[in-house]
Amino acid sequence: MSEETTGSGLALLPGALSGRKLGIARRIVLSGQRLTVEALAAKGAQPTADERERLHAFDLATTVVERVDAGGEASRLVVRLADGEQVESVVLGDGGVCVSSQVGCAVGCRFCASGIGGLRRQLSAAEILEQVAHARAIDPAIKRVVYMGIGEPTHNLDAVLDAAQVLADDGGVHERSQTLSTVGSTRAFRRLTDSSVRPSVALSLHAADDALRRDLLPRAGHEPVADLVAAADAYADATGREIQYAWALLDGVNDRDEDVEDLVALLRGRRGYVNVIPWNRVPELPFATPHRERAIAFVQALRDQGLFATIRWSAGVEAEAACGQLRRTRALGGSQG
Ligand code: SF4
């Protein structure tokens, strides 16, 4: 038995098992249960002597080092990777989990804690999947996965799609119940269209005006927002699923009447809806959370002009604008409040 195949998590399962046994083993791990020889045998996948030896000390390669419960429904998890890096996942409490796809992020959105330190490294598919395993150990009923944590999923698309495929095949999460949140690019939409697994998409707009979007998302690419929306619309047609257009609402920045007008002009007639997320405060960033009345009025104005629009108050949980805060707080040596 080689040491590398022992106790190193999901990444090494394909080296230890194959075919039907590999699928069963993944199902056990992704359900949040401990993978043991006995658990495999109980599912009718009796391991050989060699496989028994390889699985003897199986454990995940990642560890939950901190769990913060938020208001009795959601739980934020800080997950330590084998090399000591950390990412965040959020058990959403509604049958979903929000996972990270990178350590840090290169896009550098000005309102996001995750982008402050830049990109440190990519996550492997196994590291993405182990976040689901940890979440299911807390909530076995998880049926939905959102790639909305730390990182820009399309900058690590091979690993994200590999993880999505395994979740669809062996994790009990249909592709339509997986949502990839992205700042978007026409190339990424083409790759998604051609992929064997095609998750739902949330396109992070945050501005409908090109100059404002470039300012808020400085390294998101310079494609005109109209081109991104056209590509998203084509993906919606290809998959038969609506696009979620995410809008982190920033006081005085993108909550103005002209922002409503620009957004309505951009999305009218498109196959999708706007998810408005009042921004969650990050102490070191120069933005403010809009007043509740202003946020409600913004959404109502969109609806009055014919768009489908929702507002999500749990910004600290599911907004990618906030997902990196716990890890960032730890990195700064502060305490999570
Ligand atoms: S909002 Fe998303 S894309 Fe932008 S820096 Fe944060 S993690 Fe990256």
Q: What is the pLDDT of residue 332?
A: 38
pLDDT of residue 68: 87
Q: Is 318 exposed, middle or buried (0-12, 13-18, 19+ CB in 10 A)?
A: buried
With a 6 A CB cut-off, is 98 part of the ligand 1 pocket?
no
The b-or-e profile of 106-145 (16+ CB within 10 A means b, else e) is: ebbbbbbbbbbeebbebbbbbbbbbbbbbbbbbbeebebb
Question: How far apart are the CA of 148 and the centre of ligand 1, in A?
Answer: 9
Of 77, 96, 95, 97, the closest CA to residue 87 belongs to 77
Q: Is 105 in the pocket of ligand 1 (CB under 6 A)?
A: yes
The pLDDT assigned to 72 comes to 63
Rounded to the nearest angstrom, the distance between the alpha carbon of 287 and the centre of ligand 1 is 15
Half-sphere exposure of 268 (CA within 13 A, CB side): 10
Query: For atom 4 of ligand 1, which residue has the closest CA?
Result: 109
**What is the 3-class SS of the chain, one letter each residue?**
CCHHHCCCCHHHHHHHCCHHHHHHHHHHHHCCCCCCHHHHHHCCCCCCHHHHHHHCCCCCCCEEEEEEEECCCEEEEEEECCCCCEEEEEECCCCEEECCCEEECCCCCCCCCCCCCCEEEECCHHHHHHHHHHHHHHCCCCCEEEECCCCCHHHHHHHHHHHHHHHHHHCCCCHHHEEEEECCCHHHHHHHHHCCCCCEEEEECCCCCHHHHHHHCCCCCCCCHHHHHHHHHHHHHHHCCCEEEEEEECCCCCCCHHHHHHHHHHHCCCCEEEEEEECCCCCCCCCCCCCHHHHHHHHHHHHHCCCCEEECCCHHHHCCCCCCHHHHHHHCCCCCC
184 lines ligand 1 (CB under 6 A): no
Residue type, 10: L
pLDDT along the chain (337 residues), means of 10: 54 93 97 94 94 90 91 84 95 92 93 86 98 97 94 97 98 98 96 98 96 94 95 97 95 97 96 92 87 96 97 56 45 33
Reply yes or no on whether 323 is catalytic: yes
State in Å: Cα 220 to ligand 1 middle: 9
Assess whether the C-beta atom of 183 lies below 6 angstroms from ligand 1.
yes
Confirm or reject: Cβ of 152 under 6 Å from ligand 1.
Answer: yes
Residue 74 confidence (pLDDT): 84
Using the mean position of ligand 1's atoms as its centre, give its distance from the Cα of residue 98 in Å.
14
The one catalytic residue among 51, 88, 152, 175: 88
Q: Which of 90, 100, 107, 249 to mutate to test the pocket of ligand 1 (most atoms within 8 A of CB)?
A: 107
Quickly tell me which residue has 């609806």 as its tokens.
303
Q: Name the residue with tokens 């945050």.
A: 206
Beta strands 272-278 and 309-311 are parallel
Question: What domains does the chain contain, in order, with CATH numbers?
Answer: 3-55 (no CATH), 63-331 (3.20.20.70)
Task: Please give the pLDDT value at position 316.
Answer: 45
Q: Alpha-carbon distance 117 to 330, whole Å?
A: 13
